[in-house]
Amino acid sequence: MAGIKITDLEALSAAEANDYLCIVDVSDTTSSPAGTTKKIEVSNLNESGSFAPVFSNTAGAITVANGPDGLYSRVGNVVNLTFAANVDFDFSISLTGQFQFTLPILTLGVGYGTVTTDFGGNINGYISNDQLFLNTDDNTLTGSTVKLYCTMQYLLL
């Protein structure tokens, strides 16, 4: 298609995940000081959808964890996810707890975010691999089932 302007090409209304885009890699100057033209799959730019976290390996103050589907989006190597979880606490055991859950896109990295509850308690959390670690100093939750609302962000490594 040499000699054809991009503006003269037929328009595509929606790209599929395995479609290619043209991109200039400015870190590769083998073809030109301004960069080298390459292709990239649409799926390598961004992705989004729903996921069904599978909860397991509760520990510490958490005795049960389960919940409905969550949502995620990925732009480059950054993944954002939101999900809700129903968690049973027993803070007579420990003031910290954790549970594992399946991530929509696996990573070996660490992520951070916010954890809010349906009662307004003080809980924070972070992701390490596929495990969510929760910490609190609110021991009034013993014997309570709490709805956690989690918004997390992690890097793909």
How many other C-beta atoms lie within 10 A of the C-beta of residue 126? 17
3-state SS, residue 42:
helix
pLDDT the model gives residue 120: 63
Indicate the pTM of the whole model: 0.67
pLDDT of residue 137: 64
Note the pLDDT of residue 142.
Answer: 67
Q: Please compute Rg for the chain using Cα positions.
A: 22
Q: Helix/strand/coil (H, E, C) string of 68-137?
A: CCEEEEEECCEEEEEEEEEEEECCCCCCEEEEEECCCCCCCCEEEEEEEECCCCCEEEEEECCEEEEEEC
Q: What is the pLDDT of residue 121?
A: 64
Domain residue limits, the chain: 6-44, 48-155
The tens place of each residue's pLDDT in the chain, 157 residues long, gives 678 888 888 988 888 878 888 888 899 999 999 999 899 888 778 888 999 888 888 888 888 888 878 999 998 888 898 988 888 878 777 877 788 888 888 777 777 777 777 766 667 777 777 677 777 666 666 677 888 888 888 888 7
| CA torsion, ordered 25, 106, 71, 52, to nearest 10 deg | 150
pLDDT value, residue 97: 79
